[in-house]
Structure 1
Amino acid sequence: MSRINPLRRLYNFLSEQLSEEDDRSLRNLLRGDQVTTRELERLKSPAEIFIKLEESGHISKTDLVLLKELLKAIKRLPLVVEVEKVEEELQECQLDGVSRESSVKGTNLPQDVKYDPLIHSAVSASAKSTHDDADLILQCQATLRKSYKRLSHILPLPWLDGADRRLKLENIYTELDLQSSDGFKQIVQRKDIFSYSGDHENTNRILIEGDPGYGKSTFCKMIAYDWAKGETNYLRDFQLLFLFELKDLQEYHSENTGKQSLKDAIFDLVLRGVNEKEKLWSFIENNQSQVCFIFDGLDEVSSSNLPVYFKQMVQQKWPLLPDCHVIVTSRIIRDCDSKHMYDKKLSIKGLGREKVELFVKKYLKYQGSIGKADEIRLCRKVYA
């Protein structure tokens, strides 16, 4: 059986991840002597563009530099990581003396890349400002992903006797229904949290309310884990995602009176070991729409102890980092004035009987210490 060409598989994956705006930017970068306007009009997708570059010798299994430069130029840094993974895979095959493409019938991939100074310098010039930040952002992404993947192993029912085994969040997570507080009262799923606008003009500041035990913190962890995996479209525009528990921020700032800025919190709490604080902050300020902040547990911190920058981000008429996306979770807020600070408000609905049963079945499947005979009893406990 023939294997799928790993380069073509990569092209198809990238093509699925790139938006229409990315496609236009890609074509603008390449339009010229190497890929004519007429040729670009004939090529229907980014995958076809990459294949054209491969056929003309600008991309090959031995050189994916141009492909990475293009992705950096259109600010899709997470996809650069995927290209590097395939690049490593191909290099390992070469070291072993194995050609992954040799089993694909009818392919005739170039063995050596043709370096064209014009096309490489054009892309490099367009991406110059992005290149300065690329290594730092990739380092930050790797650190954050590692941290969020650790958070993905949880004790879903810590109060249950014998339930001391941590389970993988994605195996047992049961989707919550969030109801909008606008006139539509729409039920919104996790993957629509940013796209649903309802009757709001702006949707950057999102408040998620729910009673104790309704899954607000788990919901935040699931979003962070989704981003860490890099496999979900609803988060693909975020180069960086920061998850904070507000009680941790309160404790951190009270113990470090000389460190009261968001920059300090980022580097001391979630990006330990990463240097160049000012450079990262500059990236955040200049690419706000590509950054998401999640603050969990507003109700667990008194208003007087909230970090100043948090108030500036969500509780001011002219907020700090206005184009960043900010999610805040809390128990039900009775103060109407506080609610007006947010662009969009969603309430977590309690799990219905059907979803409770689904959760219990998932839980029992992966929690070997509890037998299926306890399913009915466990359903009653969770539902209660």
Structure 2
Amino acid sequence: MNEEKSFHIGKSYINLAIAENELQGEKEEKLGQAQHKATIISTYEEIYGSKTTIDVKNIFEKCKDQTKKMLILGRAGIGKSTSCRYVTYQWAKGELWFKYQLVILIRLRLLTTSRYPPGRKYKPIDLVEKEYFPCDDLSQEDRRHFKDQCDKDQVLWLLDGYDEFVQNIPEQLKDVLDYICKTQHHILTSRPYAIALSYDVKLEITGFTNDNIAKYAQQFFDQIKYNLKDASSESQKLLNFLKSNASIWGVAHIPVNLELICSLWSNMDSSQTKILTMT
């Protein structure tokens, strides 16, 4: 990543479209069955060009149980981890999910045997201590206070990247993860495959809407306007180019792809963009 173009998440995040998984699954199956490029592009636009954005503040309204549990799916690069970081940031600013005293983001791929050696029984507080206070030991008072918060439903866990974790879950961590998933308020994110868990509420991150693409491009170039001549006009030139090329416009709905496209565009002479292709 180019450090000069690393932006604060509060200034660069764009809301992603989130679809109810059952409906989205039917549409994605159609995309998978498409054989020809033109058909694929047409199908892509049908699926991803008419997304409905669900405000993240309201996603728990779909959870009917007292303990809120939700599975959020999305393919690689679609924005699952970024969304987790963003909602954690928004909670810390006091802008959503006021009922929770703590929102804890756990990157599941970091829960490895080398970091959590066998030979002991781990508790939820041990995950918090290891991931957030690696150089300190929490006091017994801290541990009791945390358990009290969990017992009073004041803690929300964001468990990110189940697909990177499920095939190699350390035996010594299975009980604590099972406890969190069964008894604690949580959101679990994963790619669509490798999910054998049962969730009543499933949503899917489907990437950017057409309007999101324009907004992201504008924000990207606004933040480098002091390093790029005519940054605002470059944003519009990029949008015009994307819309003129159906293939690139399609992949630009995936956030990581659009970030790469914007970075490439900002580093090249726009007069040469006729040679920019999918490859």
2:5 corresponds to which letter in structure 1?
R
Kindly report the root-mean-square deviation, in angstroms, between the aligned alpha carbons of the 2 structures. 3.0
Does the CA-based 8 Å contact 1:176-1:190 persist in structure 2?
A: no
Q: Normalising by the residue count of structure 2, what TM-score does the alignment of the two structures yield?
A: 0.64
Q: CA deviation at 1:303?
A: 3.3
Does the CA-based 8 Å contact 1:204-1:343 persist in structure 2?
A: no
1:238 corresponds to which letter in structure 2?
Y
Higher mean C-alpha deviation, range 273-282 or range 350-359 = 273-282
- The residue aligned with 1:179 is 19
- The residue aligned with 1:51 is none
Taking the aligned partners of 1:349 and 1:278, their CA distance within structure 2 comes to 38
Taking the aligned partners of 1:270 and 1:191, their CA distance within structure 2 comes to 25
Judged with a 3 Å threshold, the aligned counterparts in structure 2 of structure 1 residues 184 and 298 are, in CA distance, closer, same or farther, namely closer
Between 1 and 2, higher relative CO (CA 8 Å, sep ≥ 6) is seen in 2
User: Please, which of 123, 126, 129 is the counterpart of residue 264 of structure 1?
Assistant: 126
Q: CA deviation at 1:171?
A: 1.2
Does the CA-based 8 Å contact 1:177-1:348 persist in structure 2?
A: yes
- The residue aligned with 1:313 is 180
Identity of aligned residues (%): 22
Judged with a 3 Å threshold, the aligned counterparts in structure 2 of structure 1 residues 301 and 239 are, in CA distance, closer, same or farther, namely same
Q: CA deviation at 1:275?
A: 2.2
Please tell me whether residue 280 in structure 1 is matched to residue 145 in structure 2: yes
- The residue aligned with 1:216 is 80
Q: Secondary structure at the match of 1:195?
A: helix
Taking the aligned partners of 1:170 and 1:286, their CA distance within structure 2 comes to 31
Does the CA-based 8 Å contact 2:71-2:203 persist in structure 1?
A: yes
Taking the aligned partners of 1:213 and 1:330, their CA distance within structure 2 comes to 11
Structure 1 gaps, min length 5: 1-157
Size of the aligned set, in residue pairs, is 209
Q: Normalising by the residue count of structure 1, what TM-score does the alignment of the two structures yield?
A: 0.48
Please tell me whether residue 331 in structure 1 is matched to residue 203 in structure 2: no
Question: Which is higher, the Rg of structure 1 or of structure 2?
Answer: 1
Does the CA-based 8 Å contact 2:101-2:154 persist in structure 1?
A: yes
Q: Secondary structure at the match of 1:250?
A: coil
Taking the aligned partners of 1:184 and 1:300, their CA distance within structure 2 comes to 22
Please tell me whether residue 240 in structure 1 is matched to residue 102 in structure 2: yes
Judged with a 3 Å threshold, the aligned counterparts in structure 2 of structure 1 residues 201 and 267 are, in CA distance, closer, same or farther, namely closer
Does the CA-based 8 Å contact 2:16-2:53 persist in structure 1?
A: no
Structure 2 gaps, min length 5: 26-51, 243-247, 258-279
- The residue aligned with 2:203 is 346
